[in-house]
Chain A
Amino acid sequence: MFAYDSVILARMLTSMTLVFHIIFATIGVGVPLLISAAEYVGIRKRDPSYILLARRWTRGFVIIVAVGVVTGTAIGLQLFLLWPTFMQIAGHVISLPLFMETFAFFFEAIFLGAYIYTWDRFKGRYTHWYLSLPVIIGGGLSAVFITSVNAFMNTPQGFTLEGRTITSVEPLTAILNPATPSKVFHVLTSSYMTCGAILAALTAFFILKYGNNKYYKKALKLTMIVTLVFSIFTAIAGDTSAKFLATYQPEKLAAAEWHFETEKGADLILFGKLTEDNEIKGAIHLPKLLSFLSFGDFNSEVIGLDRVDADLIPPLWIHYMFDLMVTLGAYSIMISMLFLVFMFWKKRDQYNKWLLRAIVVNAPFAMLALEFGWIYAEVGRQPWIMRGYLRVAEGAVSSPYVHYAFAMFLVLYVLLGTFVTLILVRLYKKNPIQKEWEQRFPDTLFGGDQR
């Protein structure tokens, strides 16, 4: 029999909400960029295929945003319900970015409402497209503000804490803490990358299922370019994050890299397994690469876990999360690059079945990479909720009813997950592209050739 532990339950409930919310939040931030890009290309080239693409993506997008709104409301309030002590202290500081995040989301929601209902209402060619810009900006800014809150939990600054009371505060210093730039960069690029991967995967799936034509080719080219560009940016952002960690949060990097001894010219350890005596087995050692990744110098000194208090070492299994994130991210770069290389190098067929299949699996891979990355970021902060100031166990609610809340939300998320999938599938099945194309452009064959 386990003792009732409200801290563990609070962590479980928060994790569950975040794992679920991240999917919808990522799509909410990233997909507007692709919709806007498609519409822009369509207007620019006077090609209705791209505009139809934007319209069809938008239809599914609003449903996902709706679920994102409610899961976002949930995590926002759960911060108070599950972490009241944390919010009592940190609320003095982080309520500003939280507040601004809400404004940014509000801005996004208002213009999204305007965007989805005004497709054919304007005379100017670009007028409707302009409405997509505040949607992208609003989504991006809400990601910036919310990420700054998470960054603050990792490198808190801009306040003085005496006991349980904050006695002075500099709100902007807190928002612009050292973790903010690299985290924001990483979050934004990985959102755009993941959304590119998802929409590319859907297109590839349809090509496999219904055969290829011009419409799908245009969609796949656009989405694969976005995926490649942002996969590369995500990798650069990841590198920036590693450099940030090496300086400001060395224990997180050391735990993820199984870097036990502080040393110069540290090896990068990939994959492998850790035995019970903390021995690394079956790993690939890349000489001096960790030093290079940390400071841009093969001989720099990287702080190891030997310099960290034993009770402040994060769980070492985050190494697996880190490896999975990096591997899946690399897969995305590789696949999208392969596709574009084949596209320009005429000897190879970029639409061959195996490549298309590889593009299809890239979508779940990219989303998983995102989830693993967040698990790494959050678990890597343990045991702290506010690094150096407040431990997770001290921040949590003390209530005998947390399991009821957990059960309620579990049912809610299962319900929402199931329904949103069914509804999206039905939405597109009921109005397949072939049918919509024929209604809109009766003079041309599906894909754009003259009848």
Chain B
Amino acid sequence: MSYEVLGLSALWFFLFAYLIIASIDFGAGFFAYYAKQTKKDHILNRLIARYLSPVWEITNVFFIFFYYGLAGFFPDAGYYYGSAMLIPGSIILVLIGIRGSFYAFENYGSRSSLLYTFLYGASGLLIPAAISTGLTISEGGFLREEGGSIHLRYTELLTNPFSWAVVFLAIVSVLYISANFLTYYANKAGDEPARKILRSYALFWSAPQIIASLTAFIAISRQNPEHYNNMLDLWWMFGLSVLFFLGAVYFIYKERNYGLSFICVMLQFFFALLGYGIGHMPYILYDQIQVTADATLPAMGTALLFAFGGGLLMLIPSLILVMRMFLFDAEYVKGKK
């Protein structure tokens, strides 16, 4: 496999990892706020805090990896996106700034406040909505070149049904993934009342999730027929994705195998994002940036892959260590440590 395809695969991996980890995180923030509003926080929030506290910085890093990686392997993509995303990108950063800080203020500071919870709950839903514009733009038709530089067509972006379909998909997916994971986590912690509430959230968000997925899928056909046709050729991947969706909902509904249910959720998004990504080839940004033609030089591509490999060798053992200490340490999960 060539270095640019390997690089793109690494980027895809970061995107997938971010999608799952960040969704859990963003959704948990929203549920924590919602629970406070509906006076259920005494049941839910301790569980959520125990999961979130040790991992929140990790989430952010996947996003940074993704954009550094994108610009490293495909510097022209960095140029196009950088020029176009000034305002959406700044909005993302401000929201991440608010969310990250107020999360820390709430948890490491000395006072819990509804305002802080609201700020990180609400920003958690707006961030995926804002980030999803990056994916929207990649379908082509939203940029214009003028005077030697790239500009975003804001009106086009804001009035296009496709971009709203993507925003809708991003938000409901966050809530769906998060509720599903937290149900599993509550079950592991043996926290019966929390599990019940979270299970109802997971079931509630599953129908909107699949509807939003189908809507976005169909909306691509109008925005970018070429991409749509490529995806139709990969119909079996999306078929698998739907099957895993049904599996996840089945287990949650039957109140068993919560771990398996969450694995189904991950596989659902794995195949959907894989089909979407492969169908997107050979373009990274439609009509402008191609995988092979616009890749960085081989020396740099190889160096980046080595750095990536070396980084993983260092990180995976550390991550396993942390996970054993927090996520999968039964005593910690149950709140005894």
Which A residues have a C-beta under 8 Å from some C-beta of B?
Answer: 59, 62-63, 65-67, 69-71, 73-74, 76-85, 87-89, 91-93, 95-96, 98-100, 102-103, 105-107, 109-114, 117-118, 121, 134, 166-172, 397-399, 401-402, 404-405, 408-409, 411-412, 415-416, 419-420, 423, 426-427, 430-431
Contact = CB atoms under 8 A, between A and B. Distances in A.
B326 interface: yes
B279 to A, nearest CB: 26
B322 interface: yes
Given A114-B322, A168-B297, A402-B86, A99 B97 contact: no
17 contacts: A69-B60, A80-B81, A81-B90, A91-B78, A91-B296, A95-B72, A96-B304, A99-B68, A110-B58, A110-B315, A110-B318, A110-B319, A397-B149, A405-B87, A408-B91, A408-B94, A430-B110
A405 B311 contact: no
A85 B149 CA distance: 9
Interface in B136-151: 147-151
Contacts of A109: 57-58, 61
A84 B299 contact: no
A92 B300 contact: yes
A87 B307 contact: no
B64 A107 contact: no
B121 interface: no
Interface stretch (B101-109, B195-203, B252-260, B261-269): B101-109
A93 B300 CA distance: 7
Contact of A113 (B57, B86, B110, B314): B57
B68 A102 contact: yes
Nearest to A175: B303
B63 interface: yes
B97 A416 contact: yes
Contacts of B307: 96, 99-100, 103
B57 A107 contact: no
Contacts of B78: 80, 84, 87-88, 91
Contacts of B297: 92, 166-169
B71 interface: yes
A13 B189 CA distance: 46
B58 A99 contact: no
A80 B318 contact: no
B299 A168 contact: yes
A88 B80 CA distance: 9
Contacts of B104: 62-63, 66-67
Interface string B257-294: 00000000000000000000000000000000000000
A280 B128 CA distance: 56
A16 to B, nearest CB: 12
A419 B101 contact: yes
Contacts of A62: 104, 108
A171 B300 contact: yes
Contacts of A168: 297, 299
B100 interface: yes
Given A110-B315, A399-B83, A409 B299 contact: no
Given A73-B96, A87-B82, A92-B300, A134 B318 contact: yes
A91 B318 contact: no
B111 interface: yes
A171 B299 contact: yes
Contacts of B63: 73
A76 B64 contact: yes
Q: By CB atoms of chain A within 10 A, which of B60, B82, B148 has the most? A: B82
B61 A78 contact: no
A398 B147 contact: yes
